[in-house]
Structure 1
Amino acid sequence: MDPEEVEFLGEKEIITIVPNFNYGIINLISGDIGPFRAGLPVKVPMWVAVNLKQQQTCKIQQPDWMDIDFLEELRETEKNTQTFTKMPNEHYMALTKSILNCASDDLIRANEIRTLVKDIWDIRMSKLRSSVDLLIKETASYAAVDNLTMMEINSVRPLLPHALDQIYRMKKLQGPRIGSNSTAGQSSRMSYSFRS
C-alpha cells in the first residue's frame, strides 16, 4: 500500500460540515448521508466535505482533536515518552492535510494546528527511525510497536522487510553460533509484527 492509498482510506473518515443549501438524503454505496439543511450540522465522509467546500456550499467544522490545547498536550506527551502515544484519529495526517488545504479559513488558528501536527509527526517519525535502527543493529527477530497509524507504518514499509530478510539470511549462514545461549527448540526464523 502506498501513501496515496492510505490517504484514500483517510478520505472515508466521517467529519461534520454545516451546509448552506437544502437537499434530501444521498444514497451512497458506503451508506446514506444527509439530509442537508442550511445551517444545521451533518456528518459526511471527508471526500464529500472537501467536494462541497470546493463548491463553496459548506463550512467544515473543526474536529474536536484539532483543539490547540489538546494538540500541545499530545505533543508534550509524545516528546516525553519512549513509546508511541495513541493518536486521536488513525488518519490524523491525511485529515489535517485535506482540511488545511481546502478549509483553513474554517479552522481556529489554522497555522498553529499545522505546526503542532507537523511537530507530532516529526517526533513520532524520529522515534520510529530510532526503533527500526535499534531493531536492525541488535539483529532482533521481533518488534511489537503499538499505536502506530497506517501512514507511519507505511513510511518504513519499503525498508523494513528487506532489512529483516537480510538479517535472517545472515543468522542462517552463521548457524548455531547465534542463539547458542537460547533455549533448545527455539526457532531462528525471523518474524516481525506491527500493531496499530
Structure 2
Amino acid sequence: MAFPLQRGITPPEIEFLSEMELVTVVPRQRLEGLELLSGPTERLLPPQRATLPLWLAILLKRQRRVNIVPPHWLHPECLQIVLQFETETNEYTDAFSPPPRLPGQPRPGGDNRRQPTTTLPRPKYTLDGERYYPTPPFLPQNTALATSETSETDKEIALPYHWLEVGNMLLDAASDDLTEPDQIRRLLKDLREVRMSKMRKGVDVLDTAAVGGGGVSLTGVGAMEIGEMRGFVAGVVEGLRKIGASREQARREQLAEEGPTQGYTQDDDDDMEF
C-alpha cells in the first residue's frame, strides 16, 4: 500500500527549487552559453564574472571549471549582524528580520532619490510577449555585487527567501570559496535555531487564528522554514478548529435542553399576560 503524499511542498522539493537561484561565478575556462529551459546562460570568459543558476554553478565547481563568489549576506560579519538583530533588537524579539527589498522597492527611512542600479525593476517577457517581473528564486538576491555597481552603504544585509538552502549547498560544494566556512556553518545553525524558536512561540496566537480572529505574521520567513513548520502549524490549527467546533456543538445542545423559557422570571410572565 502506497503512503499518502504529504500536504504542501516538501523540504526536498524546496531545495530543488532553490537550485534555480542565481549566483556569481568566476570562470577558470572558456565556455559558450547554454540554451536552458529558463533561458540562455552567459558566456564564460575568464576572468570576467558571470551569473549562473546555482545547480549549474555547483556542477561546474565540481568539475573545477569555475569558482563561486559567495553573496554578501553569507559572510561571517553579515551573519553575525543578522543574528544580533534577531536576538537583541527589542522590536524583533518575537518577529523576524526584514527580508531583502524587491526590485524597485525604496529603502525604508532613507534617501530614495539615489538607488543602486541593481535594484531597478527589470521586466522579462514570455514567449507570447507578455511582460512579467521575476520573483524568488529568479531574483539576484544571492549574486555578489561588484564594487563598481554598489557602494558599502548600498549593500543590504538581509536573509533572502532561500537563505538556508543556498547557504548549506554552498558549504557542501564550495566551502573553499567561502570565508571561514566553519564559522559560517555555526552562524547558520544558530540563526536557524533562533528563528525556529520564534515560529514555535507563534503557536500561542494560533487559537485566535483558528476561529478567524487573526493570523500569524510570516514576514521575513524563509522557504525551508515554512516548509518544515507547515505540517506542525496546519495540524495545530486543525486540532483547534475541531476543539472549537465541539465546544460550539456542546453549547448549542445545552441551550436546546434548557428550552426557550430558560432565564425568564415570574415578573416576565406577568408582563406578557398584561
TM-score, with structure 2 as normaliser = 0.61
Aligned runs of 1:1-196 on 2, under 5 Å?
Answer: 1-80=9-88, 81=92, 82-87=94-99, 88-132=159-203, 134-136=204-206, 138=207, 140-141=209-210, 142-145=214-217, 146-175=219-248
Unaligned runs of 5+ in 2: 1-8, 100-158, 252-274
**Cα displacement string for residues 103-132 of structure 1 (whole angstroms, at most 9, x for unaligned residues):** 101111111111111111110001111112
Equivalent residue letter for 1:72: Q
Runs (4+) off by over 4 Å: none
Contact 1:59 1:106 in 2 (8 A): yes
SS of equivalent to 1:159: helix
Shift of 1:140: 4.1
Distance across 2 between alignment mates of 1:163 and 1:120:
24
- Structure 1 or 2: more helix by fraction: 1
Give 5+ residue unaligned stretches, structure 1: 178-196
What TM-score, normalized to structure 1? 0.84
Q: Which structure would you say has the larger Rg?
A: 2
Residues 4-58 of structure 1 deviation map (CA, whole Å, 9 limit, x = unaligned): 0110111100000111111222111101112011221100000001100111111
Report the Cα offset of residue 158 of structure 1. Answer: 1.5
**What is the number of residues matched between the two proteins?**
176
Q: Is the 8 A contact 2:25 2:51 kept in 1?
A: yes
Query: Please, what is the CA RMSD of the aligned residues?
Result: 1.8
Identity across matched positions, percent: 29
